[in-house]
Structure 1
Amino acid sequence: MRVKNISVKGLFGVFDHEIPLQNPDRVTIMLGPNGFGKTVMLRMIAALVEGTTSIFERTPFTEFCLTLEDETARIIRREVVVKAESRKPRVNLEFLTSDASGNTATMSQSPLPDQLPPSVLAEVDSLVPGPFHLVGRGWEDNEGRTYSLSEILERFPGAANALPRKYRPKLFSDGADDLQVFFVETNRLGAESSRSGHRSVREVMMGRHERIMVDEPGPVSSRVKQYSEDVVQRIRSVLADYAKHSQESDRMFPERLVRFARDGRSALEAHEILSQMAELESKRQRLISLGLLDTETGLRGLTEEDVTREQEALTIYVGDVQEKLNVFDDMAHRIGILMDIINDRFKYKRLGIDRERGFRVISDLKEPIQLEDLSSGEQHELVVLYELLFRAPKNGLVLVDEPEISLHVAWQSRFLSDLIKILKLTDSYAIVATHSPVIIGTREDLAVKLKGPVVAG
C-alpha cells in the first residue's frame, strides 16, 4: 500500500498545504521558502507511519491527513484546551481513520504526562538510560534540556512496556503496519547512534535474500565510516550465501552428472558453452572490480574441441556458475550504481570497496584518502546515495530533506535523475523537500509549490 495524498491544515496557525504523490517518475518535490513547513511535514509523515506523537503535540496545526491508494485515510486532529482550574494549556490529539466512502472512526487518544500517576512515570524512568532522568512529569538530560513523555518514548521505545495498556500509543495499528518510510534528514554527516545506546542486531532486507541478521556497526565518528562498516557486513552476508550455494552445487555435482546422462538430456552445443563461459567470465571480472569476489582462476583457453569432449559436464558446470554468481546480482547492481555515480562526481580521486575494510578512496597519485578528509559535499553525496541504495525499504516512501546541502550546483542539477534511477531499482517512491530551483531543473511537473495565505493589501 502506498501513500496517495498528504494534507495539513492550520500549520503554524497560517498554512494549509496539500501534496499529491501520484506521478510515473515516483518523485514529488515540495518547493517553498524557508519557514513554510517543508521539514515539519516530512517529520509528520515519518512520525505517523512510525507511531510517534511528540511532533504532533509540539507543532501548531489543526488537522494532518495521510490518504492511501485505496482511498482510506489516517487523520490526526490537534486541539489546545485550557482547564479553568489550572489555566495551563493542554494539547489533545485525536486519531481517526476514514474509509473510501468518507466515514470516519476515532482510533485512540495520545497519552499525556498529566494523565499518568507518578508511580507509572517512575516505572517508565526505570527503563530510560542515563543521562536522562525524571524531573516532575518530564525528563532532563545533563545539559538541562527537557523532554516530554512522548519524546522519551520516541527515543526509547522499550520504555513503553512500563505503561498500562490503556496509555500505550497505538497510532493506526489497524492499517499502517504495511507502510514503510525512510527519512534522509539534513543532519546526515554525524554517526547514527542506536536509540538504546547499546550495540544491537537488526534485520537487513536485501533483494533475493531472506531476512539476514547482522551486527549493528559499532561506535564510529562519522556517518561515512559507519556506512563503510555497514557495507562490509552486507557483503559478508552475500558471501555467506554464495558459499552455501557453492558448497551445495559442488556436493551434488557427481549425482547431477549421472542423472543428466541417465535421463538422456541434451547437452549444450560447444559454441554455446564457450559463449556462456565468456559471459560468466565477464560477470566474474565485474564482481572482482566491485570488491565482491577475489581473483579466481577460471577455465580459460578452451577450444571447441576441448569442450566437445566434456559437453555434458560443462553444460552442468556453466549452469552451476550462473546460479552461484546470480547471488551477487542485487548487491552488485547497488554497489555498481554507487561507484559509478560517485566516481563520476569526485575529482582527482576514486572510490573503491574492500570486502574487509569497506569504502576506500584513492587519489589519482595512488595515495589513500581518509573518509573524514573528504569535503562536506563529497561526504553528503556518499551518505545520501548509500542511504537511498541500501537503507531505504523496498516499496517504501523515502523522505529527502534539502538534498542540496553542501552540494555544488553541478551536483545539485544531477540529483533528481540519480534519484529516479535508484527509486526504480528499489521500487520505492519519494518526497523531496527543497528550496533550490537547481534540484528541480526542467522537471517542474514534479513540483508542488507551497504557498502562504493571500495577504490583503
Structure 2
Amino acid sequence: MDTSTMDATVGPKERRLISAQADGVLGEFDHRFDFKASGEFAIVYGPNGVGKTRVLEIINALCNMNVMRLISLPFRSAELNFSDGSRLRVTRISGVDSEDELAIDGIPERPEKRDELQFHLWKGDSTPVESRVSALSDFQTYLQKATPYEPMDDSGTWIDPNDGEVLSYEHLEQRYLSRFRALNRSRGPRNKQTSTVAPEIREFAESLDVRLIETQRLIGLSVQESARNNDRYIFRENSPQSIPTIIRYSDQIKLSLDNNLSANSRLTQSLDSTFPRRMLERGDKSVLTETELRNKWAEQTTRRARLTEIADLNVDPELSLPEGSLNSWQLGMLELYLEDADEKLDSFSNVLKRIDLLEEIVNARLLRKSLHIDANNGLVVTRRLDGSSVPLTALSSGEQHEIILMFDLLFNVHSGSIVMIDEPEISLHIGWQKKFIADVLRISELVGFQFVVATHSPQIIDRWWNYATRLGPNLTDFLGEEEAGDDA
C-alpha cells in the first residue's frame, strides 16, 4: 500500500472507521451504525428486506471507488466517518440529461437521462475535495461498459467472461487508458461537470483497504497453469477442473511456507558463513548468565520442535546442552548461536502465530477430526480415531465455511483493514455461531483489523448485543402490533 498519498500524521493503521451511514437504501430505509469506543467491531441485524447486505455492498463499492457498482446499487447517499476527522461521502444525482451522443469503440451511446455520483472528501476542517462522476467518465466503469472485462473481486483482477481471460488492473490501464482519455477529450467542454474521480479522493479510498466477505465462500475457479504468460492466467468457471476455495487456500499456505523456507535458507547460509568471524570478534563476552542461557535454550528448543512439525528446517529440534558448568567461551559462543537461531526462527514467527490460531479455532469445532498445516501438504484433515486422511472437499459445507472464513481473515487480510462479513451463520452449527464473534476478535487482535458483521442470527450476536445495531423499521411497523408482541 502506498502511504505517500496519505496525511503525513495519519497512516492507514491509525485511521479507524467510527461510523457509517447509508440513506435511501432500497428507496426507503435510512441506516446508520457506529463503532464503540474500542473500535474493534460492529454488528448489524434486522428483518429480511431492509438492505443489510446492500449497506455492506455500498460501503465496499465506495471504498473501492467502483462507480458502476455504486450507480447500480439502490441508495440515495452514504457517508463514512473516521477517527482522524476525515469524512467520505457519495450522493446520487438522478435523472441527469446526457447532452451528446458518444461512440465507444464504434458502439453509439444515445443521449439519455442517467444517474451521476457526487463525491466529497473532508480532511479535518479543510474545504472538501469534490468530484461529480457519471458511469462513462470513470475509468473502471468505462472498462465494464466499453470492454468485455468485469472485476472479479477487490484484489484488482478482472475477467473476460467470454473466454475466461484474467488480467490485472495495471494490464487494463496499459491497454485501455489512452482510449479512455481520448474519449473524455472528445466529449468537449459541455461535459466538464462529469469528470474522473479526483486523485485525492481515489487515493484516500485506496488507503482504506476494505474487504467484503460475501455469503458464497465455497465457490472456486480453475486455473490452467499452461496458460500463464507474463503474469497472465486463464481462469475458467464451472469447468471439470474447477478448484474449490478450500483447495486454493491449501495451495496458498504451501506457497507461503515455501517462501518462508526459501528466505530462511538464504538467511541461514548468510549467518552460518559469517559465524566464525563474528565469534572471534565477540570473544568470550556474554550478557546472559548460565541459568538465563539454559532457559532461553529450552524455550528455543520448544519453538524449533513446533516449526519442524510444519516445515523441514533441516535442524535437530532437540539439541541439548552439555551437563556441568559452562566456561566463558562456551557461554559467548552459545549466546551468539542463540541470537542467530532467533533471527532464523523469526522468519516464521508471523505465519506460525496465524497457523497456531487457525488450528486452535478449527480443531475446537471439528467433530472427531483434526486440522494440521504443513509445508508439503498445506491444509490436512485427519480422523482422530485412526489418523487417516480426510479429503478437504469431503468436509461438510459448514466445516469448509469455517476453515475458509478463518483462513481468509488470518492470511488474506492486512493490518489496518476494515472487513465486512455477510451472514457468517451460513452452514454453521448453533454452537459454532455462539463462538464466532469471540474467535474473529482473537484474529483481529492478532492481524490488526476492524470488522462489521451483518447477521440474522441471535446466536452470532450472543453476548455482544452492546455492539449490535438494528436496521430497519420498528417491529410494530414491520410486523403489526399483534405479531410484534409475539416476537418480543
Indicate the TM-score class for this superposition, using the shorter chain for normalisation: 0.7 to 0.9
Moved more, 303-312 or 218-227: 303-312
Please state if 1:164 is matched with 2:181: yes
8 Å contact from structure 1 (residues 14, 452) kept in 2: no
- Secondary structure at 2:220's aligned position in 1? coil
- Counterparts of 2:31 and 2:245 in 1: how far apart (Å)? 33
1:380 corresponding residue in structure 2: 401
Amino acid at match of 1:430: F
- Counterparts of 2:143 and 2:38 in 1: how far apart (Å)? 48
For residue 199 of structure 1, report the CA deviation from its aligned partner: 5.1
Amino acid at match of 2:276: P
User: Residue 130 of structure 2: which of 93, 106, 113 is its match?
Assistant: 106
User: Residue 176 of structure 1: which of 197, 205, 227 is its match?
Assistant: 205
Q: Would you say how many aligned residue pairs link Structure 1 and Structure 2? A: 419
Quickly say closer, same or farther: Cα 1:46–1:302, change in 2 above 3 A. Answer: same
Quickly say closer, same or farther: Cα 1:335–1:398, change in 2 above 3 A. Answer: same
8 Å contact from structure 2 (residues 227, 234) kept in 1: no
Amino acid at match of 2:220: A
Quickly say closer, same or farther: Cα 1:323–1:34, change in 2 above 3 A. Answer: same
Q: Deviations over 1:261-296 (max 9, x none)?
A: 2xx633633333222211111111122234464662
- Counterparts of 2:78 and 2:181 in 1: how far apart (Å)? 27
Please state if 1:368 is matched with 2:389: yes
- Secondary structure at 1:360's aligned position in 2? strand
User: Residue 391 of structure 1: which of 412, 420, 439 is its match?
Assistant: 412
Please state if 1:223 is matched with 2:237: no
For residue 157 of structure 1, report the CA deviation from its aligned partner: 5.4
8 Å contact from structure 2 (residues 309, 374) kept in 1: no
- Counterparts of 2:222 and 2:33 in 1: how far apart (Å)? 32
- Secondary structure at 2:135's aligned position in 1? coil
Unaligned runs of 5+ in 2: 1-14, 100-109, 151-158, 185-194, 481-488
2:191 corresponding residue in structure 1: none
Please state if 1:413 is matched with 2:442: no
1:43 corresponding residue in structure 2: 57
When the two chains are superposed, the root-mean-square deviation of aligned CA atoms in Å is: 3.7
2:335 corresponding residue in structure 1: 315
1:208 corresponding residue in structure 2: none
1:276 corresponding residue in structure 2: 296
- Counterparts of 1:34 and 1:292 in 2: how far apart (Å)? 51
Quickly say closer, same or farther: Cα 1:181–1:247, change in 2 above 3 A. Answer: same
TM-score, structure 1 as length reference:
0.81
* Identity score, percent: 28
Q: Deviations over 1:332-359 (max 9, x none)?
A: 1000000011111111111111212211
8 Å contact from structure 2 (residues 91, 119) kept in 1: yes
User: Residue 17 of structure 1: which of 11, 31, 34 is its match?
Assistant: 31
Moved more, 97-106 or 14-23: 97-106
For residue 17 of structure 1, report the CA deviation from its aligned partner: 0.7
Quickly say closer, same or farther: Cα 1:66–1:309, change in 2 above 3 A. Answer: closer
For residue 330 of structure 1, report the CA deviation from its aligned partner: 0.9
Q: Deviations over 1:205-229 (max 9, x none)?
A: xxxxxxxxxx999975200000000
8 Å contact from structure 1 (residues 401, 434) kept in 2: yes
TM-score, structure 2 as length reference:
0.76
Please state if 1:59 is matched with 2:81: no
- Secondary structure at 2:204's aligned position in 1? coil
Please state if 1:324 is matched with 2:353: no
- Secondary structure at 1:40's aligned position in 2? helix
- Secondary structure at 2:81's aligned position in 1? strand
- Counterparts of 2:144 and 2:383 in 1: how far apart (Å)? 56
Amino acid at match of 2:316: E
Unaligned runs of 5+ in 1: 130-138, 144-151, 203-214
2:472 corresponding residue in structure 1: 451
2:85 corresponding residue in structure 1: 71
Moved more, 301-310 or 337-346: 301-310
- Counterparts of 2:318 and 2:356 in 1: how far apart (Å)? 23
Q: Deviations over 1:78-105 (max 9, x none)?
A: 1321759989552122222234348544
- Counterparts of 2:79 and 2:111 in 1: how far apart (Å)? 30
8 Å contact from structure 1 (residues 83, 89) kept in 2: yes
Please state if 1:430 is matched with 2:451: yes
User: Residue 238 of structure 1: which of 246, 249, 260 is its match?
Assistant: 260
Amino acid at match of 1:284: R
8 Å contact from structure 1 (residues 78, 92) kept in 2: yes
- Secondary structure at 1:112's aligned position in 2? helix
1:249 corresponding residue in structure 2: 271
- Counterparts of 1:400 and 1:246 in 2: how far apart (Å)? 41
- Secondary structure at 2:75's aligned position in 1? coil
Quickly say closer, same or farther: Cα 1:174–1:229, change in 2 above 3 A. Answer: closer
- Counterparts of 2:452 and 2:394 in 1: how far apart (Å)? 31
For residue 16 of structure 1, report the CA deviation from its aligned partner: 0.4
8 Å contact from structure 2 (residues 36, 467) kept in 1: no
For residue 309 of structure 1, report the CA deviation from its aligned partner: 6.5
For residue 73 of structure 1, report the CA deviation from its aligned partner: 1.5
- Counterparts of 1:301 and 1:256 in 2: how far apart (Å)? 21
- Counterparts of 1:320 and 1:140 in 2: how far apart (Å)? 49
- Counterparts of 2:419 and 2:50 in 1: how far apart (Å)? 20
- Counterparts of 1:88 and 1:47 in 2: how far apart (Å)? 24
For residue 445 of structure 1, report the CA deviation from its aligned partner: 0.7
8 Å contact from structure 1 (residues 51, 170) kept in 2: no
- Secondary structure at 1:345's aligned position in 2? coil
- Counterparts of 1:233 and 1:374 in 2: how far apart (Å)? 23
